[in-house]
Amino acid sequence: MNGLRTEAPGTLSVPQIPADATLFTFPRGLPWFMLGTSLLLASAAVFCAIGFAERHEAALGILSFALLGSISTLLFRSSLRLFDHVAVNSDGIWYVPRNGQPIFLAWRDIGTVVAQDVQQRLLIVDAAGRATIRLEYQLANFQRLREFVLMHTSGQTRAGAAPLTTFHRTWINKILFLFFSVPLLFIVRIAGGQGHWGASVIFVVFATVLLGSIALDPLRVSVEPQAVVITYPGWKRKILFSQIADISLTDESFRGNVFAVVVIRVSQGKPIKLFRFREGSLALYETLKAAWRRVGPDKR
């Protein structure tokens, strides 16, 4: 996690944060949790290095120390940024670091607003390209902050010069499903060869569930004039805009991670949740919403 970081213009004066500004901070316990985890990993790195050295396995000791130490350092640096905060009002957005000079961007000076869903952050860049603010999804009440930013920035700022019609899902989930299913299939082969058919069946079920999840994980989403087409491995689903009741952008949390999710609510059936697309949740949401609105309520 990169926290909130700006590349400041340097000499531009920053107005004081007014009394009517709304502040957004990270959850109070999150920085301390990351600091504690960092110290725990640092202790583990030292313990492993000493332990492997006593067993004359220096290579493993160096590798363990380098790996755990790198993760510990990354967490420590990230935890310090979690003491930063953000302020917004009708004039613009302030980024206030734990140490250093605050940065202010007026809404009229913002050039682009892009969702980087894999990194779990919203990227705001001024028109001159000199200042950047990264808003992490882990900020408390981030959904409210994002709505405020969207309300004060134009659709053209976010859409760019060439509107997108095709959005591509990242391969992270598919790689994870394959990573866990391959060892299970290997265990199935060994268990079956030794006559342990009961255990083999259990592992086959787990592997089937993981591989089946790949078939339900989208490859891409295409926005057509009258419908949205979701392409999965081996099959497609076409949803007419006349069948859609609503399209919304929300956040979902899972084990400390926050995902921006585009939710398509259809008139019949379960809502469809789309997330982790390379082009970003904002672009996907606004493209779908605009196409849905163009159809008009009389055609829905």
Is residue 97 included in any domain, yes or no? Answer: yes
Q: So what's the pLDDT on residue 81? A: 80
Is residue 203 pLDDT above 90, yes or no?
no
Is residue 30 domain-shared with residue 80, that is, in the same domain?
A: yes
DSSP collapsed to 3 states, the chain: CCCCCECCCCCCCCCCCCCCCEEEECCCHHHHHHHHHHHHHHHHHHHHHHHHHHCCCHHHHHHHHHHHHHHHHHHHHHHHHCCCEEEECCCEEEEECCCCCCEEEEHHHEEEEEEECCCCEEEEEECCCCCEEEEECCCCCHHHHHHHHHHHCCHHHHHCCCCCCEEEECCHHHHHHHHHHHHHHHHHHHHHHCCCHHHHHHHHHHHHHHHHHHHCCCCEEEECCCEEEEEECCEEEEEEHHHEEEEEEEEEEECCEEEEEEEEEECCCCCEEEECECCCHHHHHHHHHHHHHHHCHHHC
161 has pLDDT over 60? no
Both 64 and 193 in one domain: the answer is no
27 and 149 both lie in a single domain: yes
Q: Looking at residue 285, what is its pLDDT?
A: 92
Is residue 199 in a domain?
yes
Q: What is the pTM of this model?
A: 0.64
**Comparison of pLDDT for 121 and 194, the residue scoring more:** 121
Domain assignment present for residue 17? The answer is: no
Q: Do 47 and 151 fall within a single domain?
A: yes
Enclosing domain of residue 178: 172-215
Mean pLDDT of the chain: 83
Residues 43 and 70 in one domain: yes
Least confident of 2-11, 14-23, 123-132: 2-11
Banded pLDDT at 86 (limits 50, 70, 90): very high
* Residue 67 or residue 233, greater confidence: 233
- Asked if 203 and 146 sit in the same domain, the reply is no
Residues 282-286: what's their mean pLDDT? 90
> Does 30 share its domain with 77?
yes
Domain total of the chain: 3
pLDDT number for residue 226:
93
